[in-house]
Structure 1
Amino acid sequence: MNDPRVVDALSLWGLGGCSVTLVAARENRVFRVEAPAGPLALRLHRPGYRSQVELASELAWMAALEGGGLNVPRPVPARDGSLCATVGDTTVDVLTYLDGTPLMKEGQLAQDADLSGIALRLGGALARLHDISDGWDAPAGFFRPAWD
């Protein structure tokens, strides 16, 4: 991997020497890391887009969702126990990796997509997300941006 931020981030999680593949380059650069215990996702967040407090809050919420039984990526603590770190001007974190199947192929809905089954599972997951979130007490300092 040529990006020194990736090399530095991997060392913070004790993952130096693991194989890394870029899987997404949008607001974050997301890499699949082939760790000994299974694949992980390394996220390099776009500098200036979200603060470290916002990202730590997101990770705390994700951990609560996963702890409540929702199938979401679980934050993986770095060797020092932190859920996110700064490498240069970039905030980084590591999550468990969830494999999936895209619903779209070349801009079109996949022909074999079971839309009614997908809608049913999605609706159930969203209901569970709301139930977990409504019963969760956010930790002190929790902050997420408003979308309104």
Structure 2
Amino acid sequence: MVLVDYNSVIESKADPLINMAGQVSALYPQLGSINEIQFVTSSENHTYRIISERGDFAMRVQRPGYHCLEEINAELQFVEVLSNNGIATAKPVRRSDGHFVSQLHTVEGDRLVTLFHWVKGHHPEEVEFYDTYGKMGSIMGRMHQVSTNITQDYTKSRPRWTLDEIIGSHAVWGSWDHPDYIDQPQRNLILGFIAELRSRLARYDSTGRYGLIHADMRPTNVLLHDGGVVTIDFDDCCHSWYLFDVAATVSFLEHRPDMPEWLGHFISQYQNQTKLSKQEVDLLPFFIGLRRVQLMAWYFSHRESVYCQSIGDTWLYQSFDVVSDIISHKISFN
């Protein structure tokens, strides 16, 4: 973890956080004086930990062009609703004027910034996945109940992810098809899978099973604390199929041999809150494949990231085995 001392932030003109601590203090006087800023992680956005005299907070600095002010406000409204319904989340902090989102000036330009109360806990280790997935299933079942009861106009500013936004011509992360990495037989495999998925979706009535979802609730986006699970990082929340939300819980893990066991436990606990029809259980592997193909596009668009470099092209080529197993019905939750 990189530590950024308050004084060095102010003095270093090369640091994108220059003067940010002073601006944050002015907008959030409830923090008191800021003693230290720690870099935590970088993915779609940059996350920092603020250590102040009145507690710790997470500061999310938005990547330019990813989400606008209205979309971020809608995300935080959704988080607030979930929290009010007893679902543990990282709660956003309001500014002194009552707003959630701030615009701060950095040497890299203006950035939209949001503060959250710091959540104690740790990301689950793999030995904790089975138990964690069960708890995640119960939480998501309740989350989908809340989403079903939200009016259509609520948080309408959040994106809508249909097939076109997930893997089509308007895909959020671009194309999954890169000729430098994918040969014709592999391409035909993915295209055949997509055709089969479209056919199955045409027969699926998703009425009441489509709404606001987290869209990235995987082990790296939950924290374990005092026997419970806290869900964080709603940055990708969107309107889409609930089944896509379930499938996204095994993002980047679809090829793992333990995946069916982890997700099977998730489903058993999910169904204690929200029932899945037999058709939905049969469809779930195809949504897992859909998510994996979307993540292929993410991989190509984020190849310089630390995470992509850590999983390497091996992960990419395992995707074709995942899709093949789904088409041949080797992945099942019946």
Same fold (TM over 0.5): yes
Name the amino acid aligned to 1:11. Answer: A
Matched, 1:74 2:91: yes
Q: Which moved more, 1:61-70 or 1:128-137?
A: 128-137
C-alpha change, 1:87 and 1:139, in structure 2 (3 Å) is farther
Q: 1:34 to 1:144 in 2, by over 3 A?
A: same
SS at match of 1:63: helix
- The alpha-carbon deviation at position 74 of structure 1 amounts to 1.0
Match of 1:27 among 44, 50, 66: 44
SS of match in other structure, 2:145: helix
Per-residue CA distance 1:51-96 (angstroms, 9 max, x = gap): 0000000010000011111110111100111010111321111111
Q: Which has the higher strand share?
A: 1
* Pairing 1:103–2:124 present: yes
1:143, CA displacement in angstroms? 0.7
The verdict on how the C-alpha distance between 1:130 and 1:93 changes in structure 2, with shifts beyond 3 A counting, is same
Partner of 1:147: 161
Contact between 1:5 and 1:87, CA under 8 Å: does it hold in 2?
no
Moved more, 40-49 or 137-146: 137-146
Q: For the pair shown, which has the larger CA radius of gyration, 1 or 2?
A: 2
Q: CA–CA distance in 1 between the matches of 2:147 and 2:74?
A: 13
Give, in angstroms, the shift of residue 99 of structure 1: 2.5
Aligned to 1:12: 27
- Classify the secondary structure of the residue corresponding to 1:94: strand
TM-score of the superposed pair, with normalisation by structure 1: 0.83
CA contact (8 A) 1:52 1:84 kept: yes
TM-score (norm 2): 0.39
Q: Cα distance 1:138–1:82, how it changes in 2: closer, same or farther (>3 A)? A: farther
> How far apart are residue 115 of structure 1 and its match?
3.0
Q: Secondary structure at the match of 2:73?
A: helix
Paired residues, number = 141
5+ unaligned residues in a row in structure 1: which ranges?
A: none
